Chain A
Amino acid sequence: MNTLKKPETATDPRLFPAAILQTQFTVLPKSATMKGDMAASEDLSIRLDGEYTGKIELGKAGSVHIANGAVVTTDMIIADFIYVEGTVNGKIHARKGMELSPTARVKGAIQYDIDLDMHPGARISGQINAPETILQNQI
């Protein structure tokens, strides 16, 4: 099911681009369950409301919105922007911005390459991988 209606969020995102919330596709509605991996090579903005198990790899740009009430179990979710309002067990990697809302519950690891924002109330049990820095041939 795809929908363009404005999603209901408890708190407005501060980092996740507002325009994406207006245009994202709901690929997993509330109360639905899905298992399997997902990948896309084009810019895609997806929203999960149900229970998802698998990997999501958005290779070129793209965003993932794990909505309030969604439960995701994953080896890896990777996209430019990731907005978590639900529950994640596993590793999530945002190439640009990662935002955890007050209802976010993450057990595993988060990785961000540019920006990270956690609202009061968000919980992480695990680790935070910050951006790497590289120094060229200083030996």
Chain B
Amino acid sequence: MSKKFGSVSAVSELSFSLSRSSIVGLLGGNGAGKTTTLSMILGLLEPSAGSIQLFGQDFIKNRHAVLHRMNFCSPYVDLPQRLTVSENLRVFAGLYGVKNASEKIAHLANDFRLVELMNQPIRRLSSGQKTRVSLAKALINCPEFLLLDEPTASLSPDVSHWVRSRLADYRDRTGSTILFASHDMREVELLCDHIMIMSRGRLIEQGSPEELKQHYGRDSLEDVFLELSKGREGE
């Protein structure tokens, strides 16, 4: 798929497939095209060219046939601020047609340490607490495909660590696929089975963290990324 805004190319001829039950990291610096890519996969943005196949269906034509099997979380999208945590989760449970919503919400509240916060309006929560609520919302329908756009941005290291462990646990329990956009190399290295590195809207490298480090003879993914960035600057 490709996306152009006027004459500016945000994503160019990006082509990839995701294996079921994998956690895939979409890495790239600012303006690399990560959010644009996620937005196209979510149906928030229409590709200028190309197609998206999700669960064997043409997503652009049959968006509503698959949206109930997906969900997403992004620090750039808020939940209604005046509604309490419990009210928000009830609304989204309804939107996704969750059966036994009360049970599911209680389970998520427990899982994401939200029990004490359930009656608090979102606007009174700290950013870490908001992220936990957003993640609970993103898992309300047990999505088979979860898209996360920098879910740990602006979180302290301990909360980020906790979020990563929840995501890994969710994948292990449900066999869901997670696409994870980030520019935090360490985080991606810790969490993801497969990594796609984007630069200037193009997919410039992909593989497992180990494969990439080996291939470039580096100790960390960050070094691999810096090496690739230098290469791109020279072009």
- Do A and B share a complex? no
Measured CB to CB, the residues of A under 8 A from B are none
Measured CB to CB, the residues of B under 8 A from A are none
